[in-house]
Amino acid sequence: QVELIESGGELVQAGGSLRLSCSTTGFTLSYYVMGWFRQAPGKEREFVAATSWSGRDTRYVDSVKGRFTVSRDNPNHAIYLQMNSLKPEDTAVYYCNALFNWTDDRAAWDYWGQGTQVTVAS
């Protein structure tokens, strides 16, 4: 049974940093491209970042390029999102999920974890 547990979100001042974690169980992490998504109040959930199966390759939505870094630790069943230079518009609930493939931004699974709330104060 797939389980995704996100953590690390909190209230932070603009310009600050956070590191989010996604702990995974129920599947072999190295088999999947993994991504981070976020959902701001009143908005659709959006793709933020992806890490390839080994973690060698990463890609990002334009709004976070140069500020966010996605990484993964396959033996320890986890992925991470280092967020620097945070802006109020980064405020959202952040989720992890698998992607269909490297070039597809859509989440592969209907299942979502509880997410972790990031709030950036101006």
Q: How many residues does the chain have?
A: 122
pLDDT band at 54 (very low <50, low <70, confident <90, very high): very high
Residue 105, burial from CB neighbour count under 10 angstroms (0-12, 13-18, 19+) = middle
CA-CA-CA-CA torsion sign (41, 100, 51, 5) = positive
Question: Given this model, what pLDDT does residue 24 score?
Answer: 97
pLDDT tens per residue across span 44-53? 999 999 999 9
Average pLDDT of 91-107? 96
Question: Given this model, what pLDDT does residue 53 score?
Answer: 95
Residue 63: strand, helix, or coil:
helix
SS3 content of the chain, % helix, strand, coil (to 5): 10, 50, 45
